């Protein structure tokens, strides 16, 4: 690519990134401004920052316990969804029959259903089993909802791994399971990082199922933050402080898996 085109592409990407960051930066400013400064017209650019609303959110209103609930649900979803999805994806990637394609598109069709349509049966089942306001029910619901996405995503990584790799491992004495565990799975490690990240985001940011299936003991951050919107502009500053805080765990997780994430997003892009 010519330097002129590279410079143009860099400018466009920088502009696109800035546009996407504007709401986050604006929310950060609201969270450290007094309401009179946050909603002044024209906007106040010179102000005395305050951490009062962040203190109120995380200390006085106990949002830390809601953060723990969100992390438990997201972590449990990853620990169940990713292993099951990986095994299913490997089997579907190595199965060359029409039944595999039918199953894949059936999973995709389930993912297309409106969430409210699935939330009602989950609520009835949870109430019947006395699992309302429990981590188990919320995690199982997230696994069921996210499993089609996990399978499709991991299958795309397994498809890019040559079948000859499995065959070579079995010729050397491995059975199918050992070939998968010791040879194929390490090859798609970047894909596991990408799938884990997206599974975490889907479970961590879930609102509808958390609103229906959780209660005072297992309430997650999205539900807790939604309770502090209203006509009083003080609540907007509190919501902004909570929204900035809720972003930190996914950002930290993304930084930790950044190396594998970049490899995973480009896995299979270059062949030959």
Residue ranges covered by each domain of the chain: 57-265
Q: Residue-wise pLDDT tens for the chain (272 aa)?
A: 577 788 888 889 899 988 988 888 888 888 888 877 777 777 777 788 888 888 888 888 888 889 999 999 999 999 999 999 999 999 888 887 778 778 888 888 877 888 888 888 999 999 999 999 999 999 999 998 889 889 988 998 898 888 888 888 888 888 888 888 888 998 888 888 889 888 988 999 999 999 999 988 999 988 888 876 655 556 778 888 888 888 888 888 888 777 766 655 555 444 44
Provide the whole-model pTM: 0.83
Tell me which DSSP letter residue 157 carries: H
Residue 184: both structure tokens together: 């194929």
Place of tokens 């089997």: 91
Other Cβ atoms within 10 Å of 41 Cβ, number: 5
- Coil vs helix vs strand at 175: coil
Which spans in the chain are helix H?
3-31, 35-38, 52-55, 63-94, 98-112, 115-128, 135-159, 163-171, 176-179, 185-187, 189-204, 208-213, 221-226, 233-256, 258-265
Q: Which CA distances in Å does 95 have to 88, 91, 99, 166? A: 11, 6, 9, 13
Torsion angle in degrees (nearest 10) through CA of 51, 57, 63, 64 = 20
Please, which residues have CB within 8 angstroms of residue 84's CB and are 6 or more apart in sequence? 143, 147, 150
Q: What is the C-alpha separation between 245 and 240, in angstroms, rounded?
A: 9
Query: Which architecture does CATH list for 57-265?
Result: Orthogonal Bundle (1.10)
Residue 126: both structure tokens together: 């949870």
Q: How far apart are the first and last CA of the chain?
A: 21
């Amino acid at each position: 690519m010519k330097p002129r085109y590279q410079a143009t592409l860099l400018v466009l990407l920088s502009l696109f990134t800035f546009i996407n960051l504007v709401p986050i930066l604006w929310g950060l400013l609201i969270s450290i401004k007094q309401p009179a400064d946050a909603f002044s017209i024209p906007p106040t650019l010179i102000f005395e920052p305050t951490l009062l609303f962040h203190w109120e959110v995380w200390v006085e209103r106990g949002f830390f316990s809601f953060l723990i609930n969100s992390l438990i649900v997201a972590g449990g979803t990853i620990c169940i969804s990713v292993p099951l999805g990986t095994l299913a994806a490997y089997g579907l990637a190595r199965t060359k029959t029409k039944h595999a394609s039918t199953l894949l598109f059936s999973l995709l069709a389930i993912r297309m259903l409106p969430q409210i349509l699935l939330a009602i049966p989950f609520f009835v089942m949870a109430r019947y089993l006395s699992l309302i306001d429990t981590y188990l029910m919320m995690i199982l619901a997230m696994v069921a909802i996210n499993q089609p996405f996990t399978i499709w995503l991991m299958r795309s990584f397994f498809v890019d791994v040559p079948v000859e790799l499995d065959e070579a491992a079995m010729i050397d004495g491995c059975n199918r399971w050992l070939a998968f565990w010791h040879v194929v799975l390490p090859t798609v490690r970047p894909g596991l990082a990408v799938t884990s990240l997206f599974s975490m985001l889907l479970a961590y940011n879930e609102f509808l199922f958390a609103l229906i299936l959780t209660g005072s003991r297992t309430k997650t951050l999205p539900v807790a933050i939604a309770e502090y919107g209203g006509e009083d502009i003080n609540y907007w500053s509190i919501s902004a402080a909570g929204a900035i805080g809720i972003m930190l765990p996914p950002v930290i997780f993304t930084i930790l898996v950044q190396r594998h994430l970049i490899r995973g997003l480009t896995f299979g892009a270059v062949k030959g």
